[in-house]
Every structure is written in C-alpha cells, then in structure tokens.
Structure 1
Amino acid sequence: MRAPAPAPERSRRSSWFAPFWRWHFYAGFLVVPVFAVLAATGLIYLFRFQLEPALHPSLMRVEPAQDGSLMPYAVQQQQVVERVGTDPALAGATLVSVTEPADPRSSTRFSLSLPDGSTRDVFVDPYDARVLGSLDPDTTLSGTAVRLHANLMTGWVGDAVIEVAVCWGIVLALTGYLLFVRGWKARRRVLRHARTAAGRPGGSTRLRDARLRQRHALGGAVLGVALLAVLVTGLPWTGVWGAQAQQLATRGGTSFWSDDPGAVSSPTSTLDESLPHSHSRDVPWALGGTERPTSGPAPSEDDERTVANVDTAVLVAARAGLARPLTVALPETEDGVFSVIGYAFGDPTAERTVHVGRFGGEVVSTYGYADYPVLAKVVAHGIALHEGRHLGTANMVGSAALCVLVLFMCVSGPLMWWRRRPRDGTLGAPRARLPLRTTPALVVALVALGVFLPLFGASLLLVLLADHLVLRRVPALSRWFAVRP
C-alpha cells in the first residue's frame, strides 16, 4: 500500500504574510485617527508664518514708513505698558519678551504673561509705536494646531494616546514594508486581471479597488522611511519615553535639551516653539555646575554706568553677530539679564543666545550650539527636521508632502477596508497568528521593541492578554475579531 504523501510545509510567505497583514490591519485602526490629526495639524504648523498674517492682517501687517525708520523698541515697549494699564483684558500682565519685525511689512510682537497663566501677544506698528491690538496665541489657528499636535488638548491622556499611536505607527510601517514586498506580485496580477476585465459587469469596480490598493502600497513604500524618521524625531517630546530617556541621559552626564543656564528670565511659555533654547529657571543636571550670570547690583546715583534697555540689548547682540530678527527675553528680576535669541530657524548649528546686563549693557555670557551636550545637538537637528526647517525650502516642501501623503494613507486604508469589508458581520481581518514558536528572533525583536518603547510594550501585553483571556472565550468577540483558535 502506497504511503500518503506528507503534508506540504507552510511556505515562509504564507506563515509570515497573513499574521503581519493582521497586525497591520489592527494597528491601522489604532493609528489612523491619531495620525490624521497629527498630519493635518502638522501641515498647518508648517505654514503658520504664511497663514497667521493672512488671518490677522490688521495685527501682523503694517505699511512701511516713507523713510523706513523704526521707533525705538523702548518707546514701543512703553506703549504696550500703557495699554496693559488701560485694557481690562491685559490687567496684571507681565511683559516677558519682544520679537523684532521679520520684514518691513511686519509688526513688532510683545509677549505677555497673565496672572492666570495664559498668554497674550500684543502687536505694535514699529514705525509709529501705535498698539494695533492683541490676541491669545493659543486660540489662533496655528496655536490650536500646536496644542492638538502636542497632546490632543487633553493633557497627559492625549500625550499618552499620541505616544501609543507613534509606537504602533512604527509597527504599521515595518509590517507595511513586508506586505509591500511579499504582496507585490499578487497586486500586479490582480491589477492586470482587473484591467483585462474592466469592460465586464463589475469590472470597473474591481479595477478601481485594484488601483486604490496599488496606490496605497506605493504610497506606503514612499512614506515608510520618512514616517519612521518623523516618528523617531518626535519621541523626545513624549511624556513617557521622552521623560525616561532624559532621565537616563542626565544620569550619564548629558541632556536631550539645550537648556540655557544663563537665563534668569522665564519666558518659556510665551516664546515661539521654533526658538531654539529653553530659558527656564530649571538647570539640567549636566549643566548644574555652571555659574548663572547676573546683571550685578543696580548702579548708585554717582555710578557712571547707564541703565540698558531693549534697544541696548538688540544693538549689543547684533554687534555680537546674532542673526536677525532677534527675540529679546526681558529680565524678570532685579539681577536678571536681557536674553537675546538669534534667528536660526533653518540652521540648528547657528543657534545662539547673548545675555546682556540690564545696567551696563555688557555681554554677560553667551550660549549656543557649540555649548550643547552631544545628545542635545543630535536632538536639535532632529527637531529641525521634524518641523520642516532644517534644509530650507526642500525640507518644508518635503514635510508638507509627507503630511499630505499621511492623510492620503489615512483615507485610502479605511476606504479599502470599507469597499472589501465582509458581509458576515466580522471585521475582515486575516485569521492568523505570528509564528513566534518557530521564530525566536521575532520574539526577541518584539521584546526589545517593548523594552525600548514602554507604552508599546504595555499596550502589546494588554492586547495579548485580551486575546487570550477575553476574545478566545467569548464566541461573538472571537468571530468578530477573527481570532484563530
């Protein structure tokens, strides 16, 4: 009697493709809503310098004077102080910084901090020192976009949701590449057959679906590497991974952030996010031994020193070589300094701050890219890339295209599922398990990724526990989620 032929072993393609498709499928449900918000708000933030002046022309745009001469910043500052004293909406506000006009048609911006912790920007015509008005930067289009992009405007909960989505976004990108490579021939074959049958009943629908699937795959292939770069460069801002990584960095004598130990003023809450330094009172451990400069005691009546003002600080910083337009953080205490921040929007290596004494107008200290810890230098470049401002126009255009492509993927993925969704009341996910028992390297990779990204590890553990303890024991859920027994 002839022995039956042994059952063929499952091919590597079949043992990997379906499980990774399943993970890609469910990761997409988690990631898509968050990534759609991040992409849309990121696109708005990229063009904030074009959008806000167009939306608030009466505040941000001015007509240049015929002779082009500007009023001294000290005169403009005095007008703002007077407005604070008469405007109930600005009652009790503290003036913390002033930013020069970016061009001849731009207004001067004074940033204020209110007693309740909110902020206001007051805009002044630099040619006649006329106060144009004020607004809450958090309520502008770009301000709202920034707050949504940071934590979905829900505090630590939103921050955690974004971090989880970022972690699973990495999984989405990696599994997407495997599906792209493994499914290339199948997609081409389906597209070819759909084109052949386009004239038959239902053929146009199949061709449309095949084309959408191919475009989604090609878009993902282009997007994947750039998306991974954006996700990784965004991790330092996160509340769990970023905070833990910073703690490890400070224990090692370094820091993620280029905190300036020379600034006594504290205008962090009101300065534009694109400015390079954090001028807070908190000094990181790595720089804790650095002596903090001050302006020294106030001059006595017979002291020949002159009392410096904003114009003095701007002049001194410009002579020191800082790029304009400058932002001046005003001294908050008697021994505070004018912290003048140079414009280094497109070049992190040009980031530099000059601290000017408030009495003698001397350079008390400087702090710039050369003084950053090595890790902070890396993060500075990563932030510039993330914000689309590192490589000039090319970086901005590329970042904008990336946001648009993310939005396309967030639409095309669910659309593919909706068009091909099963009619039997299930989600339509592939019924498969990862080949963990036969692939130890995959187990090691998942564990390593879970340790490196704690929220991914925690959410992965939660998913696995739910799969084994709930989904497999409730027939309705098992059927709905296509859990393999």
Structure 2
Amino acid sequence: MTIDDPARPDTPQAPPSEAAPAPDPAPRKAGTWSALRPLVLRLHFYAGVLVAPFLLVAAVSGLLYALSFQAEKVVYAHELEVPVGDTALPLSQQVNIARKVNPNGTVTAVWPSAEPGATTRVLMADPDVSEGTSLAVFVDPYTGDVRGQLPSYGSSGALPLRTWIDGLHRDLHLGDLGRNYSELAASWLWVIALGGLVLWLGRRRRNRRALFVPEGGPASRRRTLSWHGSVGLWAVTGLVLLSATGLTWSRYAGENIGAVQDGLGGATPTLTATVGGAAAGGSSEHEGHGGAHTGGGGTAQGPDIGLDKALEAARAAGIDSPRISVVLPTEGKGYVVKETDTQFPLQLDSAAVNPADGTVVDRLAFADYPLLAKLTRIGIDAHTGVFLGLFNQLALAALALALILLILWGYRMWWLRRPGRPAARGAWRRIPVTLLLPLAAATALVAWFVPLLGLSLLLFLAADLTLALVARVRARSRTTTT
C-alpha cells in the first residue's frame, strides 16, 4: 500500500502549514513493532517498486474487464436483445433453427431466454472457433429469427470484447508464459497491501480520523502519503480478497490451494448423469478465466425424449431458476440442466435427466456443497464480476481504480523523496530470535505454498546482497585511494 522511502523519517520536517499532529505525550517503548518495522518497510519498499508495474497492468486490465460487462450489452445489443413477443417457440424448435444456420456445428448446450426481450443462445462446437470456445447462435425466441453468431467463452458466456479483455488481464495474450505475470501480481498483492496496512496503522496519531480521511491543503509529499494511506485502508480488504481468489486458479499456487481444499473435504461435488454412476463432468471452472462450456461435441445414441420434455423433467425436480444452461446428452450421458443465476439468493442447483424416459438420474443442490466449495465458488464469481451483477462490477472497478491510484501515489512519493533509498540493511538482526525463527519458518511455508512469491523474494534478496557487496567494494576502494 505504501511505496515509501524508510531511510528517512516517516513524516519529514514540514512548514507550519503542514505541521503534523502533536505526538503522544508518552514516550514510545521499544518492542516487537520497533524491531519489525524496519524490516516491513524494506520489504514493502522493494515489493512496491519492483512488483508495482505488474500490479498496474493487472489493475488497468481488471478495470477494463469490470466495465466490459456493460459495454458488452451495448456492443452486442443486436444479438442479445429482441422485441418482446406474445409467445415463445418451443426450445427444440429454436435449436433446430440454429442447426440449419450452421449445419457444420454440433450443438452442445442451450441457454434459454432468461427474461422477456432476451435471445436464446445455442452453443455449438465448431471447427472455426478457437479451442475452449463455443460458437453461439442467437435466436429470437418469439419469431425464430437468427440475430447473429459470435464466439462465446467461459461459463458466463463472454463475447469477443470481454473475452479479449479477459485474456489481456489473465495472461497478456501470451499463453502459459503470460500467466506468470498475473500470478506474480496476485502473489504479492496481499503482502504489499497488508504490509502497507500495518505501516499505516503503526503511525501514532492523536486524531484517529486521519487514518480514514485524507488530508487537504496544497500538494506535498505529506498530502500524497495521507491519500495513499487512507485510500489503502479503505481498499485493503477488497485487495486481499482479490489476491486470494486470483490465486485459486493460478498455475502453481492454484494447485497447492486445490490440494489443501480437497484435503479439507472442500472439493466441488459432481453430478452423476449416467445410469452406471459415472460422473457427468461436474466442474469447478468459473467465468472466462478458465474453462469452456461444458458438454461434449458428440450426440447421444438411442431413444431421446427431446429437449423440451427433458427441461420439463428438470423443472419438476426443482430446477426453477429462469437462468439455466441445458447441456445436451452425449453417448452414455443424459441431459444436464444447471441453474446459472449468481444473483442473491444464489440459484446454482443442477439435475441430470435420462434422455430415454425423462427420469431424473441425479440432483445436486448448491446448498449441499461443502462450505469451502461454496466460498470458493462465490469468491471466484465475485472476482470475475458475475456475483451480484452490476454492484459486483462497480465494486471491482472501484477496487481497480483505487489500486491504480495507490501505485501512482506510491511512485510519486518515491520520486519526491528520491533517490528513494530503502531502510538500512540488516534490519532482521534487530528482531529477537524468539520472533525471528517463527517468522522465518512462516515465510518459508508461504514461499513454498505460493512459489512465485518465494522465487521473487529470493531474487530480491540476491539483488540486495549484490548491491550491498558492490557498495562495500566501492567504499573500500575509496578508502584505499585516499
């Protein structure tokens, strides 16, 4: 939160107009915080300066992503919206219309119109779209007119604009190599945010209001620090949650998080859609950040009651949300009807229907998910802007904007106090051994659990030691010369 130069006092000598509040009359006693503070300052300084560029890219692209939901409604209004009619066509008829428009595609899933004036989205596996993406055919549910065809990605059905921005945010369109940038940013965000919080709260004040309300007055480093700290204090909870949820689907830390979740009995349950009991591809993928639409590209063999009757059977089994996805059967598997309404209260139940006779093979209620699976689902949905709809998206945009400002204010403070030297090296030597050993053990554990954090921390330490060695050699050289 605070990119600061801890080599000098926290509050520089200021003119009377910028005078700091009077210090507490009682002198401070040396203790744990006085020993830890230089170390926290030094870590915060290095992390802020060196990792902030990655965070800035993530924040800017995240801001664009949060705004893309509403932009998508404007850009693709023709495909998404139709005049409200009197009667909707049977869903199977709408699917047949989509098949005629694109006979080379294989229908994998259908998203029925969720509200008056919304189109039905028929999803197809198509060789002309990129891997992991479906071709969506948009059908007017009242007239059967096809409003257009667009690639659709992820469980929220991101269209090309949002898909492109999502890829920029996730991996800079560089594939697996680019994912390292976002994981590095997520790995350090919580460290920088919590470190800044501790530093900001550690500044003793008579007026506690100054913690939460930025100072006014003429531009100065002091005012910049006040805005940086106060806004960071308001944003820190959201930033830590963004960091935690972002790490859940990262390449390296995500595997460790998944293993811990499974070990604690928090794995996402699956739905059984075959008579023999095989799992029907219950998925823990969410939103555009990973995972294509579920449903195979093949067709089921044998008798089939049809899409409309399968949907009626699922409705009778309690799948009553207007927002659903119907995955068509493949060989050996039945229809899977899933609720997709992430507004509160959540409607995320699912049911599998036997295509031969319409019996419900299995039903999975979101209420029966383990607590960790629920929290993971809600957390990722919140991170990706699909939880609570517009409110969620505005909150994400506000957090992204706050992070951008925090980074810019941090660099401005560094520039105003240039050359911005960090705290004196060797701060760890001032920490009591009884505190240093547990701290070192905790750091090692976190570094193992979040590998990119640990690796970059080692690089920071190596760079710091190298700079110290160079400085020592130069000092000896000057001494010898004189």
Tell whether the structures are fold-level matches, with TM greater than 0.5: yes
Q: Which of 324, 336, 339 is the aligned partner of 1:339?
A: 336
Q: Which of 120, 124, 128 is the aligned partner of 2:143?
A: 128
How many residues are paired up?
424
Partner of 2:166 in structure 1? 146
Task: After TM superposition, list the pairs within 5 Å mapping 1:134-173 onto structure 2.
Answer: 134-137=149-152, 140-173=160-193
What letter matches 2:169 in structure 1?
A: H
What letter matches 1:298 in structure 2?
A: G
Deviation at 1:42, TM superposition (A): 3.5
Partner of 2:10 in structure 1? none
Q: Are residues 1:438 and 2:431 paired? A: yes
Counterpart CA distance in 2 for 1:120 and 1:269 is 22
Q: Contact 1:236/1:256 (CA < 8 Å) preserved in 2?
A: no
Deviation at 1:99, TM superposition (A): 0.7
Q: Which of 65, 81, 84 is the aligned partner of 1:64?
A: 84
Q: Which of 262, 269, 277 is the aligned partner of 2:273?
A: 262
Q: Which of 314, 317, 340 is the aligned partner of 2:314?
A: 317
Secondary structure of the residue that 1:340 maps to in structure 2?
Answer: strand
Task: After TM superposition, list the pairs within 5 Å mapping 1:69-468 onto structure 2.
Answer: 69-85=87-103, 92-115=104-127, 117=131, 118-137=133-152, 140-183=160-203, 185=205, 204=218, 207-250=219-262, 252=263, 254-262=265-273, 273=288, 279=294, 298-299=302-303, 307-322=304-319, 323-333=321-331, 335-347=332-344, 350-388=347-385, 390=387, 395-422=392-419, 428-436=421-429, 438-439=431-432, 440=436, 441-468=438-465
Q: Contact 1:388/1:395 (CA < 8 Å) preserved in 2?
A: yes
Secondary structure of the residue that 2:110 maps to in structure 1?
Answer: strand
Deviation at 1:350, TM superposition (A): 3.4
Deviation at 1:336, TM superposition (A): 2.5
Deviation at 1:101, TM superposition (A): 1.9
**Could you state the TM-score of these two structures normalised by the residue count of structure 1?**
0.75
Cα pair distance change 1:106/1:179, threshold 3 Å: same
Q: Contact 1:21/1:179 (CA < 8 Å) preserved in 2?
A: yes
Cα pair distance change 1:84/1:98, threshold 3 Å: same
Cα pair distance change 1:240/1:270, threshold 3 Å: closer
Structure 1: gaps of 5 or more residues? 1-8, 86-91, 199-203, 282-294, 300-306, 480-485
Q: Contact 1:274/1:345 (CA < 8 Å) preserved in 2?
A: no
Q: Are residues 1:23 and 2:43 paired? A: yes
Deviation at 1:421, TM superposition (A): 2.8
Cα pair distance change 1:360/1:271, threshold 3 Å: farther
Q: Contact 1:236/1:242 (CA < 8 Å) preserved in 2?
A: yes
Cα pair distance change 1:387/1:279, threshold 3 Å: same
Deviation at 1:169, TM superposition (A): 1.4
Cα pair distance change 1:132/1:397, threshold 3 Å: closer
Partner of 2:4 in structure 1? none
Counterpart CA distance in 1 for 2:48 and 2:192 is 7
Counterpart CA distance in 2 for 1:186 and 1:308 is 74
Range with greater deviation from structure 2 (239-248 or 73-82): 239-248
Q: Contact 1:109/1:121 (CA < 8 Å) preserved in 2?
A: yes
Q: Contact 1:471/1:477 (CA < 8 Å) preserved in 2?
A: no
Deviation at 1:55, TM superposition (A): 0.8
**Higher relative contact order, structure no. (Cα contacts within 8 Å, ≥ 6 residues apart):** 2
Counterpart CA distance in 1 for 2:328 and 2:284 is 13
Deviation at 1:337, TM superposition (A): 1.4
Cα pair distance change 1:311/1:378, threshold 3 Å: same
Cα pair distance change 1:159/1:220, threshold 3 Å: same
Counterpart CA distance in 1 for 2:360 and 2:67 is 35
Deviation at 1:371, TM superposition (A): 4.1
Q: Deviations over 1:433-468 (max 9, x none)?
A: 432563314323323322332332232223223333
Deviation at 1:70, TM superposition (A): 1.0
Deviation at 1:429, TM superposition (A): 3.4
Q: Contact 1:48/1:142 (CA < 8 Å) preserved in 2?
A: yes
Q: Are residues 1:471 and 2:467 paired? A: yes
Q: Deviations over 1:125-148 (max 9, x none)?
A: 111111111122366221122223
Cα pair distance change 1:478/1:55, threshold 3 Å: farther
Aligned-residue Cα RMSD (Å) equals 3.9
Counterpart CA distance in 2 for 1:39 and 1:456 is 18
Q: Contact 1:233/1:386 (CA < 8 Å) preserved in 2?
A: yes
Deviation at 1:341, TM superposition (A): 0.9
Counterpart CA distance in 2 for 1:444 and 1:168 is 18
Counterpart CA distance in 2 for 1:36 and 1:365 is 46
What letter matches 1:368 in structure 2?
A: A
Partner of 1:53 in structure 2? 73
Structure 2: gaps of 5 or more residues? 1-28, 154-158, 476-482
Secondary structure of the residue that 2:108 maps to in structure 1?
Answer: strand
Partner of 1:5 in structure 2? none
Partner of 2:56 in structure 1? 36
Q: Contact 1:340/1:355 (CA < 8 Å) preserved in 2?
A: yes
**Could you state the TM-score of these two structures normalised by the residue count of structure 2?**
0.75
Cα pair distance change 1:445/1:364, threshold 3 Å: closer
Partner of 1:482 in structure 2? none
What letter matches 2:248 in structure 1?
A: P
Secondary structure of the residue that 1:80 maps to in structure 2?
Answer: helix
Partner of 1:290 in structure 2? none
Q: Contact 1:338/1:356 (CA < 8 Å) preserved in 2?
A: yes
Q: Deviations over 1:177-199 (max 9, x none)?
A: 222123355999x99xxx99x8x
Q: Contact 2:105/2:126 (CA < 8 Å) preserved in 1?
A: yes
Range with greater deviation from structure 2 (435-444 or 337-346): 435-444
Range with greater deviation from structure 2 (218-227 or 391-400): 391-400
Cα pair distance change 1:349/1:130, threshold 3 Å: closer
Cα pair distance change 1:10/1:274, threshold 3 Å: closer
Cα pair distance change 1:278/1:54, threshold 3 Å: closer
